[in-house]
Chains A and B, each alone.
Chain A
Amino acid sequence: METAIRTENLSKTFGSTEALAELDLEVSAGEVIGYLGPNGAGKTTTIRLLLGLIRATRGRAEIFGLDAQADPVRAHRRVAYVPGEASLWPSLTGTETLHLLGRVQGTVDIAYRDLLIQRFELDPSKKVRAYSKGNRQKVILIAGLMTRADLLLLDEPTSGLDPLMERAFRECVDEAREDGRTVFLSSHILSEVEAVCDRVAILRAGHLVEVGTLAEMRHLSALQLEAELDGPVPDLSTVPGISGLEVDGSRIRCQVTGPVEPLLTVLTRVGVRHIISKEPSLEELFLAHYGADGSEGGSEDAVA
């Protein structure tokens, strides 16, 4: 299968700040991948490196086998990019902006563009300066999607959109997946990533710390378990894989990493009246990497 994105040792340093460190990532064509990380983790830096807008300090970035840094023009023929903040020309109307960006891109599916204008409920006759933030975002989103490019690089694309428009956006990502196009989605909205992405990559302080499907990540992560026993709670300190144990009378709550069988064996000896187990959500997986207080976060302004 064709590889849509490949990075090798891709690194970027701004002064003394290391924004991205030795990123090795491969995204197959047709895949929908979520790219997560707190502010300043290096998500926008990665996308700007893939687009050739900034120069790599080290390493290499390829888009469909083309060197994204050395030959951006050819690479961009197969790419559509949607930034999180639309900086458009204030004196142009929505129609004029879409016309211009379509001409510059070279390929536009006119019927699909009109469908998107309807779907996102955009009034294209307005001047950009008269649009609200959400409506400006719609223009830049439609400008990216209307090209039906092979690779969609989306950097927090639903920033400023209301929940109805977010749903419309998810429809568009589903259509892209059905068409076999690749989507690289950087987002803070974890439910959005959870809903649309096949794989997730998590970035922390410029380093890639996790890549995999949600199922793989859940398998490697702790299972949340709650149980009510028939008798007194036995000694669970020797059971392997247990953490965060809380005991309240005959009730217990804990996390289990790895096989759950040793714990069940001990509990069934006492008798189990009620048991609930829950897989971690993406949010819990994400927070597990950063701590609930977000203390691992850096400064987006400094590096992104």
Chain B
Amino acid sequence: MRWPRRKEVYGERRAARAVAVTTATRAGWQGALWGLVFGATIAASASAYAGLFPTTASRARMALSFQGNTAWAALFGPLRRLDTVAGYTVYKSGMTVIILGAIWGLLVATRVLRGEEDAGRWELFLSGQTTRGRAAVQAAIGLGAGFVALWVPTALLTVGAGASPKVNIGIGASLFFVTSLLAAAAMFMAIGMFVGQLAATRRDANLLGAGVLAASYLIRMAADSDAGLAWLRWLSPLGWIEELRPLTGSRPFAFIPIVALVAVLVVVAIRVARQRDLGASVLASRDTAKPRTLLLGGQAGLTVRLTRPVIAGWIFALFVTGLVFGLVAQAAGTAVRGARGLEQAIERLGGTSSGAASYLGFVFVIAAGLVAIAVAGQITAARNEEAAGHLDNLLVRPVARWRWLVVRLSVALGLVVVASVLAGFAAWLGAVSQHADVGLGELLKAGLNVIPPAVFVLGIGGLALGLWPRGAIGVVYGLVVWSFVVETIAAAFDSNHWLRDTSPLLHIAPVPAADPNWTAAGWLIALGLLAAALGVAAFGRRDLVGA
């Protein structure tokens, strides 16, 4: 049979725009989703202020209690005008949006400008009607579209919250605030484009970018800790955002280094992309290595070897988180004592104590959430092993399926236990250094207390891997996000207990503000283990499923 000849002719311009359209589509969806999260975070912080601090006196007391608290400033940036809704909103949501925006900007840029090349897809684009330089320009335009998609929902929700009479922040101030915070995303997109040209793999590019982010954070941390070091802020991209002082005395001239950095890095990245060979990098990559076989004796060792950087990263992150909680507990506990709204929030979560212990009980729920995210990451890694076909290499050899999944879940459990206990220990170190009246035993219990919800999340993740492998990552992250959302609602409002019961984070007591609820913890662990066992059994009975 002869098929009728039909030639589809796309315009050359349209064909040449393929990179920009593909990049804009991917970055746009992600940006819009993050924009909704950022906008909601800012709106929630602004709207909660009036409820938490209803009187002028309570606001003044809260602002006073933070005055001169360098630990707090090191963590969240300079605390200005905390007796106003604007100042409180900056403190409460600013650093979170800045850091998450920077991470997203970095990841999305390295994905487009190195990840696509790693995967071999970039050469398909380059074999079409474009060149290396033009493709890089288009990628930059696509990322720009992604930034706009991030900015629009963040701005709409912030302006919307500002229009409320209780918040009362003008449109101009709101837009300046949003643009200031999201400048971090723009800068780290540009940094991502640049390190994508320096490094040979996306992973290395991400490491370089993460190094820049960590250095920026630490430099501004030092600058905010001591007034004599304030000049250091000008050496850090995150410091420039602080110098903008959104909502607390705007200084638009600090946009100059931000815009300059973005412009220079984008231009340099495009020039390097135009001049270098496909697959090459400015920094030479090590394609060979001496064999390190210590952990390669079997499947368990391999799991540790493959997940080692992530495990080390999470343990370090939880340790630092615990340490920071401990460092600020004393000052924050004093602030809590003055704020009826915050005390009510802790009471809603089941806490009874006051002072540092009360504060730690409140914030350790955040640690529980972080550990749950670490678990979700481990479930993702397990699923990716199967989806990429790596697991086939083990299962075609004498390795039982149940054993593989049990080992993977056990490594994740080990991470949970070590990270949780260390978080508790680090919190004690921090608290003791500030002469807070909280004992080591109490804080180790606080650390152990975050394990049961993580075990529950791990079990549900294992069950999803067994029953619905392609949906497992969505299920486990969905559970974690839902738990956070319900926990936030439960802390801010008197909520329905049916709703509260759906969040594993709300089944634990806020230790050390209250005694551990061993019964609830036991149930969470038992249900988690049961779900994991069912997942392992189901995994043994199903087909292996690719991506």
Contact = CB atoms under 8 A, between A and B. Distances in A.
Interface of A: 48, 51-55, 72-74, 76-77, 79, 81, 83, 85, 87-89, 91-93, 95-96, 99-101, 103-106, 123, 125-127, 129-130, 140, 143
A83 B392 contact: yes
B232 interface: no
B388 A99 contact: no
A263 B316 CA distance: 87
Given A55-B542, A55-B543, A83-B392, A73 B291 contact: no
A125 B289 contact: yes
A96 B398 contact: no
A81 B399 CA distance: 14
Given A88-B390, A125-B288, A104 B398 contact: yes
B397 A76 contact: yes
Contacts of B291: 93, 95-96, 99, 125
A93 B293 CA distance: 10
A54 B543 contact: yes
B389 A103 contact: no
Contacts, number: 92
B541 interface: yes
B114 to A, nearest CB: 13
Interface stretch (B130-138, B298-306, B362-370, B420-428): B298-306
Given A93-B288, A125-B289, 18 more contacts: A48-B544, A51-B396, A54-B544, A73-B398, A76-B398, A85-B389, A87-B390, A92-B296, A99-B296, A100-B296, A101-B397, A103-B298, A104-B299, A104-B397, A127-B287, A129-B287, A130-B285, A130-B287
Contacts of B214: none
B388 A87 contact: yes
B264 interface: no
Contact of A53 (B287, B302, B543): B543
From B306, B388, B543, name the one whose CB has the most chain A CB atoms within 10 angstroms.
B543
B289 A127 contact: yes
B394 interface: yes
A104 B394 CA distance: 7
B15 interface: no
Contact of B292 (A72, A96, A101, A106): A96
B393 A87 contact: yes
A87 B389 contact: yes
B538 to A, nearest CB: 12
Interface string B178-218: 00000000000000000000000100000000000000000
18 contacts: A51-B396, A53-B392, A53-B396, A53-B544, A54-B543, A55-B543, A74-B398, A76-B399, A79-B396, A89-B302, A92-B296, A93-B288, A96-B292, A96-B293, A99-B293, A126-B287, A127-B286, A130-B288
Nearest to B545: A54
A209 B288 CA distance: 48
Contact of B400 (A73, A91, A99): A73
B96 to A, nearest CB: 32
Task: List 5 A-B pairs, minimum CB-CB distance, nearest first.
Answer: A87-B389, A130-B287, A54-B543, A95-B291, A100-B296
From A85, A88, A95, A104, name the one whose CB has the most chain B CB atoms within 10 angstroms.
A104
A77 B398 contact: yes
Contact of B399 (A54, A73, A130): A73
Main secondary structure of the interface of A (DSSP, over half): mixed
Contacts of B388: 87
A73 B397 CA distance: 7
A246 B388 CA distance: 54
A95 B290 CA distance: 9
Interface residues of B, number: 33
A126 B398 contact: no
Contacts of B118: 129
A131 to B, nearest CB: 9
Interface in B513-547: 541-544
B297 interface: yes
Contacts of B289: 93, 125, 127
Given A81-B396, A87-B390, A126 B288 contact: yes
B468 to A, nearest CB: 16
B395 interface: yes
A93 B290 CA distance: 8
Nearest to A81: B396
A130 to B, nearest CB: 4
Interface in B215-267: none
A115 to B, nearest CB: 19
Contacts of B285: 130
B296 to A, nearest CB: 4
Nearest to B387: A87
Interface in B386-418: 388-390, 392-400
Contacts of A85: 389
Given A53-B392, A93-B288, A106 B398 contact: yes
A63 to B, nearest CB: 12
A55 B545 CA distance: 11
B123 to A, nearest CB: 13
B56 to A, nearest CB: 58
B393 to A, nearest CB: 6
B361 to A, nearest CB: 41
A102 to B, nearest CB: 10
A74 to B, nearest CB: 8
Nearest to B395: A53
From B288, B306, B389, B393, name the one whose CB has the most chain A CB atoms within 10 angstroms.
B393
A87 B392 contact: yes
Nearest to A89: B390
Nearest to B296: A100
Contacts of B287: 126-127, 129-130
A153 to B, nearest CB: 8
A263 B118 CA distance: 64
A74 B395 CA distance: 12
A129 B392 CA distance: 18
A56 B397 CA distance: 19
Contacts of B397: 76, 101, 104-106
A91 B292 CA distance: 11
From A72, A85, A106, name the one whose CB has the most chain B CB atoms within 10 angstroms.
A72
A81 B292 CA distance: 25
A105 B398 contact: yes
A89 B305 CA distance: 11
A296 B397 CA distance: 34
Given A91-B306, A103-B297, A76 B543 contact: no
From B286, B292, B398, name the one whose CB has the most chain A CB atoms within 10 angstroms.
B398
A88 B306 contact: no
